[in-house]
Amino acid sequence: MNHLLSMEHLTTAEINTLIQKAIEYKEQGIQTTQFDNKYVANLFFENSTRTKSSFLVAEQQLGLKLIDFETSTSSIQKGESLYDTCKTLESIGVNLLIIRHFQNEYYEELKNINVPIINAGDGSGQHPTQSLLDLMTIYEEYSSFEGMNVLICGDIKNSRVAKSNYFSLKALGANVMFSSPEAWRDETLDAPYVDIDEVIDQIDIVMLLRVQHERHDNGDVNTFETNSYHEEYGLTQARYDQLQAHAIVMHPAPVNRGVEIDSNLVEASKSRIFRQMENGMYLRMAVIDYILQTKGEQTNAIN
């Protein structure tokens, strides 16, 4: 694995290897000088708290040297392309690029970049490290994915998390269902759409998705009825009370409290939302470790 671009590029064996490596880091500690001769640049063209911060901590825990890069002060502002920016960083010796970009599959333009790339989110495409940290959290809970009933609720069409988790969970043997308003469905994903109230007492994992106002065509948050959405598709206290005793609640965050989930449930006993955030740092350490350790064993081409 020379790059991490989408969950479809990973085998189930690679997924399991990354999960086990992340758990090892979590349980046995961290080697802070492992890559002290390597340089990394984080290119975030969209706002981020959890993903960017956990990558930064993971990189520093592994001893990587960080190259200061901010889109607002870079030559991007002068019209430089993403390709030329990445080629510049490659030319000066950067060993790893972490990229979040508003364009779906931005990495297709980077086929001649000879530096490993980790996709930290591409538009409404995919978010592989979020999916992997979600899988790690599920594995810690159940030690398996086979036959698990997973309900993903919300803005399926605009969610890169939904797509990534759909592909990975299905490949690992889980049963994936969606619950979504009609306008936010993605018919390219072959999973059934269900009424949340008809299945809430049968599922093992409920994944709630952030309502992504910034990706809606009109961009007007005032046209969105938060109370109506919460009652129809959100995790209310009444729905939470119907969950099985062993069921868990997940959300990639940031959370719109009172919209996707009742505010009182964000830290409820079944919630793993902050556990996901914790696991994100260890999982991203595992991805960086794996990619830098295996670089050179495969072709650098993006495919």
pLDDT digits (tens, 9 = 90+) for 196-228: 999 999 999 999 999 876 655 554 444 457 788
Confidence of residue 63 (pLDDT cuts 50, 70, 90): very high
Confidence of residue 14 (pLDDT cuts 50, 70, 90): very high
**Whether 140 contacts 147, CB under 8 Å:** no
pLDDT attached to residue 211:
87
Q: What is the CATH number of domain 7-127+278-294?
A: 3.40.50.1370
pLDDT attached to residue 247:
98
Query: Residue 301: is its pLDDT beyond 50?
Result: no
* Percent helix / strand / coil, the chain, rounded to 5: 45, 15, 40
Confidence of residue 69 (pLDDT cuts 50, 70, 90): confident
pLDDT attached to residue 75:
80
pLDDT attached to residue 297:
44
CATH 3.40.50.1370 in the chain, residue ranges: 7-127+278-294, 130-272
Task: Please give the annotated binding residues, written as ranges.
Answer: 50-51, 78, 100, 127, 130, 160, 210, 253-254
Task: Please give the annotated binding residues for carbamoyl phosphate, written as ranges.
Answer: 50-51, 100, 127, 130, 253-254
Query: 130-272 sits in which CATH class?
Result: alpha beta
Percent of the chain with pLDDT over 70: 92
The DSSP secondary structure of 33-53, one letter per residue, reads TTTTT-EEEEEESS--SHHHH
Query: Residue 150: is its pLDDT beyond 70?
Result: yes
pLDDT attached to residue 245:
97
Kindly report whether the global pTM for this prediction surpasses the value 0.95.
no
The DSSP secondary structure of 176-240, one letter per residue, reads EEEE--GGG--TTS---B--HHHHTTT-SEEEE----GGGSSS--GGGS-HHHHHHHHSB-HHHH
Confidence of residue 296 (pLDDT cuts 50, 70, 90): very low
Task: Please give the annotated binding residues for L-aspartate, written as ranges.
Answer: 78, 160, 210
